[in-house]
Amino acid sequence: MKNLFLTVVCGLSLACNAIASDPKPANVLFIMIDDLRPELGAYGSTAVKSPNIDSLASEAVLFANAYVNVPVCGASRASMMSGIRPTEKRFVGYQARIDEDAKGAETLFGYLKKQGYYSESIGKILHFSEDSKADWSTPPWNPTGKIKRIGHRNYQSAENIASFLKNRVGPAYEAADVPDNHYFDGMIADQALASLESASERDQPFFMAVGFLKPHLPFTVPLRYWDLYNEADINLASNPLMPMGAPRQAIHSWGELRKFDGIPKAPHPVPDAMAKKLVHGYLASVSYSDAQVGKLLAKLEQLNLDDNTIVIVAGDHGFSLGEHGLWVKHSPFDVATRTPLIVKLPTALTETSTMGRLLGSTLSESTLSKSTLSKRDEPTPILNPGVGVAEGLVEFVDIFPTVLELLGKPMLPQLQGDSFVSQLLDSSAPGKAAVFPRWHAADVIKTDRYAMTEWFDQRGQVTARMLFDHLNDPSESVNLAEHKGYESLVTELHEQLIVLRESR
């Protein structure tokens, strides 16, 4: 559990008890966006247009160093919604299921349902809608296209539909001049808006999980989002080569992209002209999902639900756009494991919020707290609790316990993460000493400065290793694992990885 000043801990406990007994306990709107790397204005990107999420972030805590535990959708979501870490045999790939990989485990939504919440899934939350289906208060809702045989591709162009039906292959991007709700994410937004209306009339707190599909491949969006970008202005990855000294295990063939029309077969790279199209499609897809998020936030405010609703926006993993010569996810690199995480507490802890009054009162009564970033010994005040940029490390197994602490609900023995409520109350509070993503045979330890990946064989022996200094090499271009002078650091990080592997 992260360090938290004693006065705040005591006050927060009282606050949480009050929240739990309040006749109107806080709601949770959990918004998950597929394949979203930190390509948002709020995260410093100048390439993308994401005004709605950026606006939310300005009233929330933005976690600058949030890491998933598996860089693939099914396993990442299953781990997050169960609060259980992945292993070599649990939560491995995109087809991972909680009800198969962790039988008997509580899900976040199922546990809150038992605590009196109306839990609802709209769009893509778990990879399989049937996974832990009984834990929801109502069957998960997913959009359906007019032509079922094209599945998640959801093409709108007659030409692309005909091509796919004939050849079972289609383009990796499309921009049709259609309304938002002709594509799936617009349909998901419409359903979520209707569900919020219903929630406002129901005398019951809700946990509403809304999952948007874009920017998952194919990058299919309404034309108006494509037209937000000028392809000539789009830059390609500045680090398109494998890191110096990287082992062969770090290379993958990005097969998820290669199955689309116009993409070269392995091992050939994507030509620059096609790469620009793909980045264009990714950016347009982010803007499309951002617009849908904006609709939900506006509806929340219109219905006066924002006063008592925690809003969480998260990706399910990162995404490579040509960095290291790779595309999509499926790797232990930082670009695949780091993703956005933004948490807004009700009305930014103002006096108009039931929950905000309690937490705000707690902080005012504790008066002053020492800032961990202060160079002086005297205490400094916490400014604007619930708003800011949290640089401290967090990982997605921490989300489950954080929600429970915010809602004042009992913790569960199965949870393997730690609550980051301390960082929500004070964004300068320290995060974890390390976080631990993994991918297939590779385990990663990420500290504030370093990231080390080790590949293990079936006997538990290390077969390859990468070490990056994120302070001096944030793009991960030089593998330091075998460099002279790093032996003791490698040993120290390896020992921490072994402890983690043996404890999960």
Element (H, E) at 159: helix 158-167
Going by DSSP bridges, is the β-strand pair 27-33/309-315 parallel, antiparallel, or unpaired? Answer: parallel
Residue 350, Cβ neighbours under 10 Å: how many? 13
Exactly one of 127, 216, 252, 324 is catalytic; which is it? 127
Contact 106, 414 (CB under 8 A): yes
Is there a contact between 367 and 110 (Cβ–Cβ < 8 Å)? no
What's the token pair of residue 286?
Answer: 């982010």
- In angstroms, the CA 298 to CA 120 distance is 19
Interatomic CA distance for residues 245 and 318, integer angstroms: 23
> 208 with 310: CB under 8 angstroms?
no
First to last CA, the chain: 16
* Pairing status of strand 450-456 against strand 442-446: antiparallel
Residue 478 carries which DSSP code?
Answer: B
Q: Give the DSSP per-residue string, 451-470.
A: EEEEEE-TTS-EEEEEEEET
Q: How far apart are CA 458 and CA 88, in angstroms?
A: 9
Specify whether 127 is catalytic.
Answer: yes
Report the C-alpha gap between 245 and 467 in whole angstroms: 10
Please confirm, yes or no, whether 73 is among the known catalytic residues. Answer: yes
Annotated active-site residue in 10, 16, 73, 182: 73
With residue 163 as reference, give the H or E element that holds it.
Answer: helix 158-167
Q: Which backbone phi and psi does 199 adopt, to 5 degrees?
A: -65, -35
In this structure, what token pair is assigned to residue 97?
Answer: 């299921």
**Residues 405, 406, 410, 415, Cα dihedral to 10°:** -50
Between the CA of residue 279 and those of 233, 276, 321, what are the distances in Å?
A: 11, 5, 7
Candidates 51, 90, 54; CA nearest to 70 is 90
Instruction: State the virtual CA torsion across 15, 17, 18, 20 in degrees, nearest 10.
Output: 120
On whether the CB atoms of residues 279 and 234 are closer than 8 A, the answer is: yes
What single DSSP character describes residue 264?
A: P
Candidates 191, 333, 350, 184; CA nearest to 252 is 333
How many CA atoms, within 13 angstroms, populate the side-chain half-sphere of residue 74? 17
Helix boundaries (H) for 227-271: 255-258
Task: List residues with catalytic annotation.
Answer: 73, 127
